[in-house]
Amino acid sequence: MKDRISYERRPTFNQDFICSGQGIVKIGKNCSFGYKLGGFHKRGGIELQARYENSFISIGDNVATNNNVFLLSANYIEIGDNSLIGQNVTIMDHEAHNIDPFKRREIGEKGKIIVGKNVWIGNNVVILKNTEIGENTIVGTGAVVSGKFPSNVIIGGVPAKIIRNI
């Protein structure tokens, strides 16, 4: 995987970090993964998995995560510059298993995820395929996010919806 991961300036790793898969992971400058004072610092890790050969994960400049973050790409995930990602966040751009009962062990539908610049993703959030989150948006704790959301809003809930404008 070492030839499939690139970064402009070596990121800071404050928790166990795994980068796996056959795809490409690109990390911008001044990124930080994990937080020593965050919960579960010693009992978890950060995993970026670009699972297949054509899978791509792009993390912008100045992105910081808390602990126990999992990004799993079968296609395309993009995290914009200056974004913050809370603890226990899962971001997946595909259905892990096919919904057809006779193809259940095959991968399901693939999509894309685009998180804009300066987005704050709270703790325990799940972001699903075909999601776009606009710049400066806040994603509330525990949200399950699917769909397109504009810039400068607060979203939250299950399923996530716009709570108010910023």
Q: Does 2 have pLDDT greater than 60?
A: no
Instruction: Quote the pLDDT of residue 21.
Output: 95
Instruction: Quote the pLDDT of residue 120.
Output: 98
Classify residue 61 by its DSSP letter: T
Instruction: Quote the pLDDT of residue 3.
Output: 67
d(CA 142, CA 125): 5
d(CA 96, CA 67): 23
94 is catalytic: no
Q: Hey, what are 87's tokens?
A: 């603890």
Q: What percent of the chain has pLDDT over 70?
A: 98
Instruction: Quote the pLDDT of residue 5.
Output: 81
* CA-closest candidate to residue 143, choices 72, 69, 99, 91: 91
| 27 contact partners, CB below 8 Å, separation of at least 6 | 5, 6, 7, 8, 11, 59, 63
94-125 residue pLDDT tens: 998 888 899 899 888 999 999 999 999 999 99
Q: Does 25 have pLDDT greater than 60?
A: yes
Single-letter amino acid code for the residue at 152: N
Instruction: Quote the pLDDT of residue 106.
Output: 85
Instruction: Quote the pLDDT of residue 1.
Output: 47
The answer to whether domain 2-165 has CATH 2.40.37.10 is no
35-84 residue pLDDT tens: 987 777 778 899 999 999 999 999 999 999 999 999 999 999 999 999 99
Active-site choice (7, 12, 18, 97): 97
Instruction: Quote the pLDDT of residue 40.
Output: 73
